[in-house]
Structure 1
């Protein structure tokens, strides 16, 4: 999920270490990551061995048959272990002075089932008692990076950007955030989990967890972990993500206008 251009070599290094560990215990594993398909197609592949998934589809998409293997911990300010949030961005010159003042404004989202781009934005609106018709027209951009561009260019007025993604962009492409400012932050939620197909045998799940643990301890992978802001990986299950469904039930809806949809990358 966090596979921006400056992170791809790091993800490749991390996967190579995981694959070597699996090969070492007699298990088959692809030599390289699959970047040819949208992440949604990969999540629905019944032969999926390993991926990272947005937390909200886990509890909102009935067609997803995934098992949570583990959860990453990212080294970011204001992100307690295992939790992250979204930065709610507007243009620097926007007169808005709080979330309540953006009622009816145009919203850019990366994907309708995105937790950080949609669900947590709705949770922030629920915290201020926003009504069901609080949000204005919505444009689906395809990625957080494209949502940033949509706000900066004036095609949208507001977007909720995953704190991990925002940190990567601020480090690797800081001009993208020029002219934008933080209006508010969303509530925190569990970090995006590592997953496998639900039918993956328990012995393979255990081997994947062992491989992730080894990758965190490997000194040779320190540069890759730093590029990913990756501090630790801990075992987890889907139970950590049930709260995301509650947010969806209790928060104001976003009305997605299909005629206002832009196409972008699948990087979240």
Structure 2
């Protein structure tokens, strides 16, 4: 069985993530699941987990859920994060620039250099399209694009003056402020993207409804377990919401809205 929580698995918060998993694993065993992993899988790419028939629990992004991994993953629940930019089980991306720059509003970034974590990211790629689509001219707005490979790398590039703007998942930005303030102190937020459903917990598709129910019960217990309160707080987690897969159709709608404005691709 495979378990992974790779979306916000910052090295500085790994001990807290492991404690959260230990609580979830204990609750899973109470629900009758056998072969529950003692530790989270970190040696392989999360994309291999999301395709695996051995996947027990993972966390994914709304974009992979509705695109590449549609049909591979079953939605369990969405976390509620208590950081600026989040409301309930929804989140936004902070549009960040270098603190010393003159950029004040998104329109000021015409022709600028944008960096993003990856093309399959809602928070780092589609969020940029959503914010800048109304400002684009014949499908173009930025003068240069670069792929950083991750939100921490995007923040570092902006702080170092190697790029002008990025869209940073507001939970990742909160982790950056907590653990890498030497980077985020050099950044400034000029806008937020439209909100989207938070990064959900998932399992492999094809499980019986009885198993899905027990998985959800285990998550609910871990997310309300008093002895894990400090652990959840350190990870900015305030609760859990059981929502439907249809909620994530809003990701497709955001993509369609940008395309309707002539901004089908970031550019």
TM over 0.5: yes
Match of 2:61 in 1: 54
> How many residues get paired?
255
Residue in structure 2 matching 1:16, options 22, 46, 70: 22
1:183 to partner: Cα distance = 2.0
Unaligned runs of 5+ in 2: 1-6
Residue in structure 1 matched with residue 72 of structure 2 by the alignment: 65
Range 219-228 or range 78-87, more displaced: 78-87
Aligned pairs (5 A) from 1:1-268: 1-28=7-34, 29-61=36-68, 65-128=72-135, 131-251=138-258, 252=263, 253-255=265-267
Provide, for residues 159-208 of structure 1, a one-character-per-residue CA deviation record: whole Å limited to 9, x for no partner.
00111111111012211112221121111111100011112232221111
Structure 2 Cα separation of the partners of residues 159 and 130 of structure 1: 19
Q: Please report the RMSD computed on the Cα atoms of aligned residues, expressed in angstroms.
A: 1.7
Given the two structures, how large is their TM-score scaled by the length of structure 1? 0.89
Unaligned 5+ runs, structure 1: 256-268
Deviates more, 1:110-119 or 1:200-209: 200-209
Structure 2 residue matching 1:142: 3-state secondary structure:
coil
8 Å CA contact retained: 2:96, 2:166: yes
| TM-score normalised by length of structure 2 | 0.90
Question: What is the alpha-carbon distance in structure 2 between the residues aligned to residue 126 and residue 61 of structure 1?
Answer: 23
Question: Structure 1: which 4+ aligned runs deviate by more than 6 Å?
Answer: none
Question: What secondary structure does 1:150 align onto?
Answer: helix
- C-alpha contact (below 8 Å) 1:100/1:130 kept by paired residues: no
CA distance in 2 between counterparts of 1:211 and 1:241 reads: 23
**3-state SS of paired residue (1:138):** strand
Quote the Cα distance in structure 1 between the aligned partners of 2:168 and 2:85: 15
**Counterpart contact for 1:123–1:247, Cα < 8 Å:** yes
**Equivalent position SS for 1:217:** coil
The one of the two structures with greater contact order (alpha-carbon pairs below 8 A, sep at least 6) is 1
Q: Which moved more, 1:17-26 or 1:236-245?
A: 17-26
- C-alpha change, 1:120 and 1:141, in structure 2 (3 Å) is same
Aligned-pair CA distance for 1:219: 0.9
With over 3 angstroms needed to count, the CA separation of the structure-2 counterparts of 1:70 and 1:130, relative to structure 1, is: farther
